[in-house]
Amino acid sequence: MNARLSPPPEWAHQSSVWIGWPSDPELWEDDLAPARDEVARLASAIAASGQRVDLVCSGDVAFSQVGVSFTSVSGVHLHHFPMGDIWLRDTGPVFSWTADGLIARRFRFNGWGGKYRLAGDDVVGGAIAGAAAARVIGFDAILEGGAVDWDGAGHLITTRQCLLNPNRNPGWDEASAEAFLLEALGARHVIWLGDGLANDHTDGHVDNIARFIGPNTIACQTPAEPDDPNTDVLREIEADLRAARNLSGEPFSIVTLPSPGRVEDEDGAPVPASHMNFLITNDAVIVPTYGTPSADAALAALRPHFPRREVIGLPASHILTGGGAFHCITQQQPAPAEPEPEPATP
């Protein structure tokens, strides 16, 4: 097996979407029920299109209750696995198909630099891989799926704030990080950004600030002035992306969405709300919304780039109280790639 084979991009055909179900009342407190409602709406929207959903739940009580939300929804398959919390983008495996079948890349996870170490988060990725009948390939480095985004053609975006943070892999510099990303994810060209959103406990995950949405096409956000807490960061991100070049030396096409602007927690502090944390499925692009005026414009900016998918917004304010949104709580499982056609016989 060639470990450098790049995983397919998110817009490639998928066989399933894995989703984490809010399970621990002590973690979610008053947001548990409304967060479950938001996750249920996400899962139902995917299943309604005919795509399989694999929903991961932790704990006997939560597992006994979760089925009630999906009694009339077909296509949602429940799994009872140990899991610290719902952030499967970071704790779940990265899937690829090879000539030998489905593989699951697994990386070490240390609770986003030691901030949140929860029992089960280090094993849920293996449980998912086993349920998917995937062969596991383990890598001895800390890497979260939300820290990187790729296009399946050798390009990868990440941030220095996260990947070069000494709370992950002490001693990494750009060269050593790029060598690892080449070996583990087939990244032949890394686009480095600086910082992520304010108060993001992930230390700047890229899936909140910049995403590949098609070949040679990257989406990012523009600030909602005058009170957007990320104005300077978002402007720098857009400038860096416009200056970046692809493997052929050509510029990328840059698509901009409006930022939600200043969204606050109950104490008045800004939280890392982002429309960039959308999920691409076989038939839809599901964008998190937060009750801000930016939502309609964000959906409109994405629609021309997904003509065969429905671009829809769903609320994610209560999921955000845990630190993320739809992309953070999901992990796509790609469908087997169609074989290359045989060359014509002369």
Active site members: 328
**How many other C-beta atoms are found inside a 10 Å radius of the C-beta of residue 80?**
16
With beta carbons less than 8 A apart as the criterion, state whether 332 and 150 touch. Answer: no
What gap in Å lies between CA 333 and CA 53, rounded to an integer?
A: 10
What gap in Å lies between CA 52 and CA 67, rounded to an integer?
A: 16
With beta carbons less than 8 A apart as the criterion, state whether 128 and 104 touch. Answer: yes
Q: Which helix (H) or strand (E) holds 346?
A: none
Of 280, 246, 18, whose CA–CA distance to 153 is shortest? 246
Of 287, 309, 313, whose CA–CA distance to 14 is shortest? 309
Q: How far is CA 63 from CA 24, 48, 83, 148, 302, in A?
A: 11, 22, 12, 31, 36
What gap in Å lies between CA 171 and CA 167, rounded to an integer?
A: 10
Three-class HEC string of 29-44:
HHHHHHHHHHHHHHHH
Residues 6+ apart with CB under 8 A from 217: 252, 253, 254, 255, 305
Peptide bond into 93 cis (omega under 30): no
Q: Which helix (H) or strand (E) holds 137?
A: strand 135-142
Of 41, 51, 55, whose CA–CA distance to 92 is shortest? 55
**How many other C-beta atoms are found inside a 10 Å radius of the C-beta of residue 181?**
22
What's the chain's Rg over C-alpha atoms? 19
